[in-house]
Amino acid sequence: MKLKGSHIRNIELEIHSDKRGKLLSIEQIANGLPFSAIRSFYLFDVPFQSIRAGHAVNCHQFILALRGSVNVEHKSADEKSEIWTLSKVNEGLYVPELHYITLKDFSSDALIVIYASKAYSDTTYYSFEDLNKQ
């Protein structure tokens, strides 16, 4: 199995504002998400210098910083890295299946939500080495 080419991209979400406050909606068609979210999970109270993920999965993901910030690092098959900083509540990162990512540099107040296209029990996790084998 080889790492897939990078099609990771930012997706900007529309914020609806009026005198009652602000509303942010996550919808597949309206926001251009290329998958239906089956599961969501949250990361918060992440200790200083902790690293999360460090794997690839066989499902699509959308990562959003609801509060604070986090850096998402993608490592390609040729071991080149790209880093995206998520710090705006209306700007998330779409990560296609089989892309190796690491989440790091969490701010102390970070609240991160990740939407996934598969249930936890249906998700397979791959190390970088497993993805690069052939």
Listed in sequence order, the residues at least 6 apart from 125 whose beta carbon sits closer than 8 Å to its beta carbon are 55, 56, 57
Residue 1: pLDDT above 60? Answer: no
**Structure-token pair, residue 130:** 């497993």
**Structure-token pair, residue 119:** 């249930």
* Domain edges within the chain: 9-14+32-132
3: nearest Cα among 81, 71, 113, 64: 81
pLDDT tens digit string along 35-77?
889 999 999 999 999 999 999 999 999 999 999 999 999 998 8
CATH superfamily of 9-14+32-132: Jelly Rolls (2.60.120.10)
Q: What is the mean pLDDT of the chain?
A: 91
Maximum CA extent, the chain: 57
Q: Which has more confidence, 96 or 77?
A: 96
Question: What pLDDT shows up at residue 134?
Answer: 45
